Amino acid sequence: MAVPQKHTVIEQPATGKLIKTVKLRFHECFGDSLMVKSKPKTADEIFSKIDDNIKLIADRLRNLVKATLPKATETVRRGKFTYTMNGKDCVAIRLAKQHVDLLFMHGTSISSPHLKGQGTVGDPKHLEVTTLKNFDESDAKRLLLEEAATAA
């Protein structure tokens, strides 16, 4: 693909003398050929992009959150399943290539030997689930209830 010039030269028709150089805008250089990747906005879009093992883990976590926090509202935001209670983000499910994270947004006071992360906005406490065999559902349920009490 040829890279377009970022400037265009305007010459005087009769003499060919340079009148001015004009800087082109981005879309004038590249047109609409560049596409910006967007994050999935629906559950179907998320599930269409992941493998079956991750799909099973994510589905199990979604069902656990819905059963444990029935008043939580599920939305897809920034490519994650986000659960809101009382107008505040409470829990999220983030999918990676090899695992699924159950994120606790207000998790500074919750504790478990299975938790990872610092409990900050940039590094929330979370459970990293790689397989359903080693997933401690009772601990996850306890953490969800503690998180809901903290977020209330």
Is 117 found in the same domain as 47? yes
Give the bridge partners for 22, in sequence order. 8
> What CATH number is associated with residue 131?
3.90.1150.200
Is 120 found in the same domain as 61? yes
Residue 13 confidence (pLDDT) = 65
The answer to whether 87 and 81 have CB atoms below 8 angstroms apart is no
Is 133 found in the same domain as 113? yes
Is 28 found in the same domain as 10? yes
How many separate domains does the chain show? Answer: 2
Residue 29 to residue 32: CA distance in whole angstroms = 9
Is 61 found in the same domain as 102? yes
**Cα R_g (the chain), whole angstroms:** 24
Closest CA to 104 of 91, 116, 114: 91
Is 53 found in the same domain as 13? no
Would you give per-residue pLDDT tens digits along the chain (152 residues)?
Answer: 444 555 555 556 666 665 555 555 554 545 554 555 667 778 788 778 888 899 999 999 999 999 999 999 999 988 889 999 988 889 999 999 899 999 998 877 788 888 898 878 788 899 999 999 989 999 999 999 999 888 77
Residue 70 to residue 73: CA distance in whole angstroms = 8
**Structural domain of 15:** 1-36
Residue 5 confidence (pLDDT) = 54
Instruction: State which amino acid sits at residue 31.
Output: G
Residue 58 to residue 47: CA distance in whole angstroms = 9
Determine if residue 117 is left, alpha or beta; phi over 0 gives left, psi from -120 to 50 gives alpha, anything else beta. Answer: left
Two tokens at 77? 């935001």
Using a cut of 0.75, tell me whether the model's pTM lies above it.
no
Is 120 found in the same domain as 76? yes
Residue 3 confidence (pLDDT) = 46
Is 48 found in the same domain as 32? no
Is 20 found in the same domain as 80? no
Closest CA to 104 of 70, 148, 45: 148
